[in-house]
Each structure stands twice: as structure tokens, then as C-alpha cells.
């Protein structure tokens, strides 16, 4: 049998770049169970989740483990996302929930165990000077003494620079409750800093006024 | 957090600390993200398989239950026991403890041994650092941050073991192997005695599958990946936990004299080599003191009081490595440079092969800097640290301090090459501003 072949050259036409997909498109891919959407969601939002978790917990390895848990939940619950355009908020709300659970577990473990938790064992800050590391270690030791809700509200407001309203929305609490938690955390932290002679030495060494 | 004029000084301190926390965390690298995605996809895959299995078994179990109920009604016979679920993994730890975040803390000098209830054994060699990331019914995830670890994993189709070794991920089903990772030289080694493993990580050509009797060596700086076959007698008969390689000594196995600029300390090493206290004594001291915990709680003054009571000399000779480090920190915070120096020198003398020994070199530089005429010695210690820990945690700081001191001692012309190197390696580092200023000086 004779087969007639076209002489027109064939070329591969690439589809739209995955990186250019909007959050809404990404969410729809995720709901449909597309593998590329899983990878893109991770690459787009994992830095945000890991950094927030690291700042909240003070440990990079724990933040990485937590991110695994967050995205595992996100992918399992993707079909419950009602507004695809709000994928970022969806991911962040999972992150905040998991961080809060982790902080609560930590406090429970601290109560149940005679062993003090080791703070900042895996901080990923290679360019930080030694005094700053010491300061951070002590700062996170103080944060460990706060209640999970107060600590998270303080971290979101001051470390993540969110507004009170954004903090309240992320934590799924009212704005007045968020404000109360933030003020409570600030008051207690200021009092502990004042009463900590070691911290005074660190701050003096850094040349910071107290 | 911004402090206004009406706020107290402590609020300003809080604002400063908050800003430090905000600015100190670095975003994850592309390699870290890729590794995280791989782990996540594995977990999602495992979860789907488990759900499918659960559904299948639910149907089977429901059918069986209906049959059994019918049989029971018919014969009034007792109901057979419901098939039991695979038991959860539990482990027993010897030679150390698991701290918050899964950090494995060694209490003696014999390493840490974890024995799981289904027969798997894991041994972290003395001086090595690792973490128990997760333990659940599906298996466990263990991270080796520095040093050597051995595994004897009981074969099972239900469980999966993941071992993170530096930037590498070893996926295990049932096997006997030893891994080694040295962060300073970025060298990875795996010796597989039995079974199969898959190694993922920064190597060209994708994942590497190894079978029993093979040895994989990866040097990241040289971009070298080497797989060799080992004769059975080379690995047979060695207990789990034998050193990774006799042929290729690692930086942590170097003779202690090479890691010290002063001949005085060499003599001290020789004198004290035989004076290592018994492991039981060390364990007792470790249990009693927990100085790192005290230090984390801000009670460094109590550490110094305890040392005064116990005697400085005895403490320096008998305290475990971790306590010596905590003591050095406490002494630095208490402005007691001579005690800090003595603790750090004791650390290097008594634990010459440990990663902390290298950190001690850097800290000795900081201690010398704080003394009246110690700046030359400080530069020597920084050089020592930079030479032996080229990718260590304090490299940026050591290079920055060396640059500042060289400028003070010998002038800008001598400091400029150090500044150039600093900017090349740490363009966003905390000494980058000073380095750029030095570069501009004519």
C-alpha cells in the first residue's frame, strides 16, 4: 500500500508554562489531581510555609517536617476548596493550624517531660554572627514559655508583619481576641526580658539599648 | 515591631529581638525544595496505596464479618478473633536520649543505639550527630547530620525506612548498611552489606540503586560519584557500627596535632590521652548537670557556681563534651575568658575527632579577641577553623572576624584579600558592609 507523507516540517508546540498559571488555575489542577499542580503548589507556597514555620518554631528541620504535613493535608483536602482563587489563603490557613498544633504539643511535652526542649538546634542562618545566634536562642526560649495562641499571634503580628485583622483571619479568631493575645504576649515577653540578666549581657554586647 | 518614644526600653529590646528573628531566617534553597517535594510525593503515593488497601480490606473484612455472623447464628460457635493490625513501631534507646525535635543526644562515649521492636537496629557512632525525625506504623525517618551511622533494617513490605544523610536521601526496605556524612568536606559514603537501597540527592543521572556488597562515595566539591564492588571479606564479620572506611580517613579522624596551632596543647594532649574517665562517671556527670539545658534557660551563673563547687580541674578532665561546651559559653557570658579558654582547650584536647572540636577552634578565637593582647592568637584560631571546617557553621563569622582583625593589626592592604573572599562567599553576610568599605579604601 502506498502511503503519502506530508512534507511539512513537524514541530513541538509547548503548552503554557506551569509557572505562569494563576492561583485559580493551579487550584483547579490540584482539585483534578494533576501531578504538575502538586509540584507547582509546593514550589510556589513551600518557601512561605517553611519560613513562617521556622520563624514560629525556631528550628529549620522542624519547619521542613511541618511543611510536609501541611502540604499533605492541603492535597488531601483540595477538593473542599470553594474559591480556587484563594489557594494562598487556603494553604496558609493549614500552615497556621499545623503550627498551632505543634506549639500546643510542645507545651504539653514540656509539662509531661523533665527534659527541657532544645531551642534552635537547627536554625538555618549561616551568615548570622555568634552573638545574634545566642540572642535568638534566648529569645526562642522565652517564646517557649508563652501559650500557643499568644505566641502564634505575636509571631504573625510582629515577625511576619501581619495586621491584627490578618492575624485574626489566619488564626480563625476574632480581631479583639487576636489583639488581646498580642498584648498579652508583648507584656509577658517585656517583663521576662527585663528580668533576664543574661539577655541584658547579650543586648549590651550587640550594642543595643535596653 | 516598631518601638515608639513612649514605649519602655524593654519594649525596644523586644522590638530588636523580633527584628532579628524576622531577618535571620533564610528561605529554603532550590535543592532543599526539590528534596522536600520528593519526600512529599513519596508520602502521597504511600497514602494512596494505604487508602486503596484499606478499602479493599474493608470490603473483605465486611464480607468475612457477615459470613462469620451467619456462621455464628447457625452454629452458635464463638467468633474467631479479628485480624490484628501491624504493631506500631516502638524503640528502646541506649547511650543517649531523644530531645525536642528528635535530636539524638549522646550521654556517654559509646554512641547511641536504637533498637526497634520489629528487630531493626540503628547505631549512631560516637561524636556523630543525628535526629529521629519520625516514627510511625509505616516506618521511620532518621537524619544523619554529621558522622557515621549503621543500620540493620529488618525486611518488611509494610514498612519503609528513610535515612537523610546530609543532602542525600536513602530509601530502605530491608538491609544492612553503614552511612557516613562529613558536612565540612561534603563527602558522602554508603557501604551496603546486604539488600538494596536507593540513594537520591545531588548526583548526576538521577537516583542511584545499590545492591549488597557495593560501596558508594560522593564528593560534592569534586563532583565525583564512585561506586565500587567490595569483596565479601571486607565487610563480612564487621559489627553494625563499624567505621565507614578505613581506606579514606575523614577530616574528623585526623590526628589531633594537625588541628591545633600551639605546641603547648600538643603536649597537653599527650599527657592527657590516657586520662579519659570511665564512661559510667561521664554518664553520671551528664545526668547530674544538664548544663546545656541550664544555659538555654539563662542560668549560666549556676553552671559557674557548680564548677566552682566541683573544682575547675576535675570538671575540665571529667565533664562530657556537651558540658564543656556549655561551660565555655557560660564562662564567656560571665566575662571569664580564662575559664572559657580552658574549657575549649579541654574540649579539643579530650575530643579531638569530634565536630565540636572544630567549633571550639572558632570560639577560642572569640575568647582571644576579648582579651587584652589576644588578637594575633585569635587570627590563628580563625585560620585554624577555616582550614579544617571550610563549610562549617561559623565560616562566615570566622572570615568576617579575621578580616576585621587583619585590618586592625596589619592595615587595609592586608585585609583586602580577606574582604574579597568574604564578599565572594557571603555577599549578604553581616560583614559585607565592612568588606565593601575595605575594598574601596585606596
pLDDT in tens, A92-135: 999 999 999 998 888 777 666 554 544 444 555 555 677 777 78
* Distance (Å, whole) CA B36 – CA B41: 9
**ipTM, 2 decimals?**
0.78
B346 pLDDT higher than 90: yes
Mutate to test the interface with A, among B19, B100, B290 (most CBs of A within 10 A): B100
**Which 3 state secondary structure label does DSSP give B362?**
helix
What Rg do the C-alpha atoms of chain A give, in angstroms? 23
Q: Which residues contact B18 (CB under 8 A, 6 or more apart)?
A: A158, A159, B1
Chain A nearest CA to B395, separation (Å): 8
**Relative orientation angle of helices A35-57 and A87-112, to the nearest 10 degrees:** 40
Name the pTM for this structure. Answer: 0.46
Q: In whole angstroms, what is the distance from residue B404 CA to residue B416 CA?
A: 10
- Minimal Cβ distance to A124: which of B25, B97, B366: B25
Which of B120, B223, B244, B133 minimizes the C-alpha distance to B174? Answer: B120
What is the CATH architecture of A22-116?
Orthogonal Bundle (1.10)
Question: Which residues are registered as beta bridge partners of A140?
Answer: none
Q: Using pLDDT thresholds of 50, 70 and 90, give the confidence band for residue B284.
A: very low
**Which residues of chain A form CATH 1.10.10.10?**
125-210
Mean pLDDT of chain A: 80
- pLDDT tens-digit profile of B136-152? 777 788 888 888 888 88
**Least CB–CB distance from B430: residue in A127, A191, A208:** A127
Go through B192-231 and write b for each residue having 16 or more CB atoms within 10 A of its CB, e for each that does not: bbbbbbebbbbbeeeebebebbbbbbbebeeeebeeeeee
Q: Using CA atoms, how far apart are residues A98 and B268, in angstroms rounded to an integer? A: 52
Nearest CA in chain A to B100: A117
Mutation choice for A interface testing from B18, B103, B291, B400 by most A CBs within 10 A: B18
Between A75 and B83, whose confidence is greater? A75
Residue B287 is predicted with a pLDDT of 46
Q: Which residue has the higher pLDDT, B410 or B212?
A: B410
Dist. CA B101–CA A123, nearest whole Å: 12
Measure CA of the first residue to CA of the last residue in chain A; give whole Å.
92
**Distance of residue A1 Cα from the nearest chain B Cα, in angstroms:** 44
Helix axes B432-440, B412-425, angle to 10 degrees: 130
Q: CA of A161: how far to CAs of A164, B1, B15, B26, in Å?
A: 9, 8, 12, 16
Which residues contact residue A127 at a Cβ distance below 8 angstroms, ignoring those fewer than 6 apart? B26, B396, B426, B428, B429, B430
Average pLDDT over residues B234-257: 36
Specify which of A53-62, A147-156, B241-250, B344-353 reaches the highest per-range mean pLDDT: A147-156
Average pLDDT over residues B326-335: 80
Highest mean pLDDT among A156-165, B24-33, B73-82, B389-398: A156-165
Cβ-nearest to B10 among A116, A139, A210: A210
Nearest CA in chain B to A185: B14
> Is pLDDT at A184 greater than 80 in this prediction?
yes
**Number of continuous H segments (helices) and E segments (strands) in chain B:** 15, 15
Could you tell me the pLDDT band of residue B161, with boundaries at 50, 70 and 90? confident
Indicate the fold that domain A125-210 takes in CATH: Arc Repressor Mutant, subunit A (1.10.10)
B43 pLDDT band, cuts 50/70/90, is confident
CB-facing half-sphere around the CA of A63: CA atoms within 13 A: 26
User: Given pLDDT bands bounded at 50, 70 and 90, which one contains residue A70?
Assistant: very high
Q: What is the structure's pLDDT at A19? A: 60
* Cross-chain CB nearest to B296 (options A51, A132, A141): A141
Whether residue B408 has pLDDT greater than 80? yes
Predicted pLDDT at A4: 47
**Conformation bin of residue B133: beta by default, left when phi > 0, alpha when psi is -120 to 50:** alpha
Q: Which residue has the higher pLDDT, B359 or B236?
A: B359
Interface size between A and B, measured as CB pairs under 8 A:
176
Amino acid at each position: 500500500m502506498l502511503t503519502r507523507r506530508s512534507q511539512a516540517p513537524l514541530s513541538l508546540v509547548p503548552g503554557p508554562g506551569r509557572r505562569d498559571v494563576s492561583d485559580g488555575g493551579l487550584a483547579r489542577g490540584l482539585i483534578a489531581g494533576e501531578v504538575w499542580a502538586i509540584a507547582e503548589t509546593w514550589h510556589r507556597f513551600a518557601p512561605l510555609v517553611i519560613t513562617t514555620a521556622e520563624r514560629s518554631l525556631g528550628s529549620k528541620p522542624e519547619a521542613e517536617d511541618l511543611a510536609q504535613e501541611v502540604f499533605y493535608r492541603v492535597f488531601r483536602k483540595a477538593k473542599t476548596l470553594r474559591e480556587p482563587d484563594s489557594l494562598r489563603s487556603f494553604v496558609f490557613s493549614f500552615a497556621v493550624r499545623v503550627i498551632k498544633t505543634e506549639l500546643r504539643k510542645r507545651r504539653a511535652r514540656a509539662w509531661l517531660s523533665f527534659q527541657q526542649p532544645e531551642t534552635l538546634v537547627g536554625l538555618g542562618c549561616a551568615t548570622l554572627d555568634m552573638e545574634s545566634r545566642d540572642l535568638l536562642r534566648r529569645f526562642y526560649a522565652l517564646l517557649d514559655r508563652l501559650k500557643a495562641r499568644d505566641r502564634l499571634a505575636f509571631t504573625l503580628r510582629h515577625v511576619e508583619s501581619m495586621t491584627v485583622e490578618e492575624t485574626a483571619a489566619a488564626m480563625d479568631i476574632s480581631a479583639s481576641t487576636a489583639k488581646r493575645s498580642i498584648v498579652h504576649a508583648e507584656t509577658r515577653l517585656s517583663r521576662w526580658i527585663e528580668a533576664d540578666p543574661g539577655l541584658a549581657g547579650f543586648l549590651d554586647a550587640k550594642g543595643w539599648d535596653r | 515591631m516598631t518601638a515608639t518614644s513612649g514605649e519602655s526600653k524593654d519594649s525596644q529590646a523586644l522590638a530588636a529581638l523580633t527584628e532579628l528573628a524576622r531577618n535571620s531566617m533564610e528561605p529554603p534553597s532550590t535543592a532543599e525544595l526539590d528534596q522536600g517535594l520528593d519526600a512529599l510525593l513519596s508520602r502521597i503515593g504511600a497514602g494512596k496505596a494505604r487508602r486503596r488497601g484499606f478499602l479493599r480490606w474493608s470490603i473483605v473484612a465486611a464480607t468475612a464479618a457477615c459470613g462469620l455472623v451467619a456462621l455464628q447464628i447457625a452454629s452458635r460457635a464463638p467468633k474467631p478473633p479479628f485480624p490484628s493490625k501491624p504493631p506500631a513501631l516502638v524503640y528502646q534507646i541506649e547511650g543517649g536520649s531523644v530531645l525536642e525535635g528528635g535530636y539524638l543526644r549522646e550521654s556517654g562515649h559509646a554512641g547511641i543505639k536504637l533498637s526497634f521492636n520489629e528487630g531493626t537496629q540503628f547505631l549512631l557512632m560516637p561524636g556523630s550527630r543525628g535526629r529521629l525525625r519520625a516514627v510511625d506504623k509505616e516506618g521511620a525517618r532518621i537524619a544523619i547530620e554529621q558522622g557515621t551511622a549503621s543500620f540493620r533494617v529488618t525486611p518488611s513490605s509494610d514498612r519503609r525506612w528513610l535515612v537523610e544523610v546530609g543532602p542525600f536521601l536513602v530509601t530502605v526496605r530491608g538491609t544492612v548498611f553503614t552511612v557516613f556524612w562529613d558536612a565540612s568536606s561534603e563527602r558522602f559514603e554508603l557501604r551496603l552489606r546486604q539488600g538494596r537501597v536507593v540513594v537520591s540527592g545531588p548526583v548526576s543521572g538521577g537516583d542511584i540503586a545499590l545492591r549488597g556488597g557495593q560501596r558508594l562515595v560522593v564528593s560534592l566539591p569534586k563532583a565525583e560519584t564512585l561506586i565500587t564492588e567490595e569483596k565479601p571479606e571486607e565487610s563480612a564479620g564487621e559489627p553494625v557500627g563499624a567505621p565507614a572506611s578505613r581506606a579514606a580517613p575523614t577530616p574528623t579522624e585526623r590526628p589531633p596535632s594537625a588541628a591545633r596551632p600551639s605546641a603547648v596543647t600538643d603536649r597537653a594532649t599527650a599527657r592527657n590521652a590516657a586520662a579519659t574517665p570511665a564512661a559510667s562517671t561521664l554518664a553520671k556527670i551528664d545526668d547530674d548537670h544538664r548544663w546545656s539545658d541550664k544555659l538555654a534557660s539563662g542560668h549560666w551563673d549556676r553552671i559557674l557556681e557548680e564548677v566552682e563547687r566541683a573544682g575547675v580541674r576535675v570538671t575540665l578532665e571529667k565533664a562530657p563534651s556537651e558540658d564543656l561546651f556549655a561551660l565555655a559559653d557560660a564562662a564567656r557570658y560571665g566575662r571569664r575568658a580564662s575559664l572559657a579558654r580552658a574549657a575549649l582547650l579541654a574540649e579539643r584536647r579530650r575530643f579531638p575527632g569530634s565536630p565540636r572540636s572544630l567549633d571550639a577552634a572558632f570560639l577560642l578565637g572569640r575568647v582571644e579577641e576579648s582579651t587584652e593582647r589576644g588578637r594575633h592568637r585569635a587570627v590563628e584560631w580563625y585560620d585554624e577553623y577555616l582550614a579544617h571546617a571550610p563549610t562549617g557553621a561559623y565560616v562566615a563569622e570566622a572570615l568576617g572576624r579575621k578580616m576585621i582583625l587583619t585590618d586592625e593589626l596589619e592595615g587595609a592592604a592586608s585585609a583586602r584579600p580577606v574582604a574579597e573572599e568574604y564578599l565572594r562567599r557571603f555577599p549578604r553576610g553581616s560583614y559585607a558592609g565592612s568588606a565593601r568599605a575595605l575594598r574601596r579604601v585606596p
